[in-house]
């Protein structure tokens, strides 16, 4: 049974092709900046989630053969509603949560179609994670790069939330299989600028303890994404959590941002 997303256009459902075109048509268009920094060999592209914009841009605009890591629950009919409500909409105002509970059930058939037809690999946070790594390594060896958005709800700064770090283990398993040290490429998704910024690759060190590599690579990626954001003209950052738009942060130095928040 196929468990990762469709990578064969001949097998892609026509309805998914229509949805993909409509998403491309109505979503913000992105210009690529720094794409020449992507290694010639397969790599792991790691970006800020930017709500739905990161995964959508990763699917539509990544300029190399790729697979996007996707929450496995969004690919299983019986798990979509609970996951979608809990992850996307549980922080909405109490008065409207009933609507989003209904919506989470209504989107189930569409979610199953989309996430099983796109270039995706299901990601789990339990014992099934080994399946995620195994399928990712298979695709890497076929020449596909991985696109990953590993933020979670702990805030790192006003640009990016902390990264879940187990994705770095993909490089350890890949090295054991191939003897090749993977590179991780930072990606800053900036919907308000209509741009995707690629940073300099960060090479995995196979001879270092994996706990140290998880921390080093995650810190380096978050720092790189933050530096890219701060180097751009002032703009609104679309954050990972689905919070009210009035609370979206700006790409200004953290000290300035905190002072402004305190003043408010």
Strand 202-203 to 145-148 pairing:
unpaired
As beta bridge partners, residue 46 has 148, 186
- Own/partner contacts of 178-181, CB < 8 Å, gap of 24 or more, are 178/141, 180/41, 181/205, 181/206
Q: Is residue 20 part of a domain?
A: no
Confidence of residue 91 (pLDDT cuts 50, 70, 90): confident
What are the distances in angstroms from CA 29 to CA 1, 164, 179?
Answer: 35, 28, 38
Confidence of residue 10 (pLDDT cuts 50, 70, 90): very low
Q: Is residue 14 part of a domain?
A: no
Q: What is the mean pLDDT of residues 22-40?
A: 95
Residue 241 has pLDDT above 50, yes or no: yes
Q: Is 186 helix (H, G, I), strand (E, B) or coil?
A: strand
Q: Is residue 170 part of a domain?
A: yes
Q: Is residue 132 part of a domain?
A: yes
Distance CA 17, CA 59 (A): 13
Q: Is residue 47 part of a domain?
A: yes
Taken in order 49, 52, 54, 55, the sign of the CA dihedral is positive
Q: Is residue 196 part of a domain?
A: yes
Q: What is the mean pLDDT of residues 169-196?
A: 97
Flag the least confident range among 4-8, 155-159, 201-205.
Answer: 4-8
Comparing CA positions, the residue from 140, 124, 143, 120 lying closest to residue 132 is 124
List pLDDT tens digits, range 46-60.
Answer: 999 999 999 999 999
Position 12 scores a pLDDT of 81
Tally of structural domains, the chain: 1
Percent of the chain residues past pLDDT 70, beyond the cut:
92
Q: What is the mean pLDDT of residues 6-17?
A: 70
Strand 183-190 to 202-203 pairing:
antiparallel
Q: Is 116 helix (H, G, I), strand (E, B) or coil?
A: helix
Which of the two residues, 175 and 257, has the higher pLDDT score? 175
* Region of 204 on the Ramachandran plot (φ > 0 left; ψ -120 to 50 alpha; else beta): beta
Distance CA 229, CA 225 (A): 6
Residue length, the chain? 264
Position 254 scores a pLDDT of 66
Distance CA 132, CA 69 (A): 9
Q: For residue 86, what are the domain limits? A: 30-263
Q: Is residue 39 part of a domain?
A: yes
Helix (H) or strand (E) holding 147: strand 145-148
List pLDDT tens digits, range 49-89.
Answer: 999 999 999 999 999 999 999 999 999 999 999 988 888 78
Distance CA 178, CA 223 (A): 29
Q: Is residue 184 part of a domain?
A: yes
Percent of the chain residues past pLDDT 90, beyond the cut:
76
């Amino acid at each position: 049974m196929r468990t990762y997303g469709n990578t064969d256009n001949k097998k892609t459902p026509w309805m998914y092709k229509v949805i993909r075109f409509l998403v491309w048509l109505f979503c913000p268009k992105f210009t690529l900046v720094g794409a020449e920094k992507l290694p010639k060999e397969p790599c792991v592209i790691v970006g800020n989630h930017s709500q739905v914009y990161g995964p959508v841009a990763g699917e539509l605009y990544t300029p190399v053969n790729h697979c996007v890591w996707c929450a496995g629950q969004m690919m299983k009919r019986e798990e979509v509603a609970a996951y979608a409500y809990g992850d996307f909409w549980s922080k909405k105002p109490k008065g409207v949560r009933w609507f989003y509970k209904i919506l989470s059930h209504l989107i189930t058939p569409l979610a199953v179609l989309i996430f099983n037809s796109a270039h995706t690999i299901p990601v789990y946070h339990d014992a099934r994670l080994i399946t995620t790594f195994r399928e990712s390594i298979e695709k890497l060896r076929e020449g596909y790069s991985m696109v990953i958005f590993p933020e979670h709800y702990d805030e790192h700064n006003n640009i990016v939330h902390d990264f879940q770090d187990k994705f770095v283990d993909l490089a350890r398993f890949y090295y054991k299989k191939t003897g090749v040290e993977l590179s991780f490429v930072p990606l800053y998704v900036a919907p308000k600028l209509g741009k995707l910024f690629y940073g300099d690759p960060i090479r995995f060190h196979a001879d270092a303890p994996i706990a140290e590599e998880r921390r080093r690579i995650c810190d380096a990626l978050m720092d790189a994404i933050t530096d890219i954001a701060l180097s751009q003209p002032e703009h609104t950052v679309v954050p990972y959590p689905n919070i009210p738009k009035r609370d979206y942060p700006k790409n200004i130095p953290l000290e300035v941002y905190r002072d402004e928040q305190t003043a408010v």
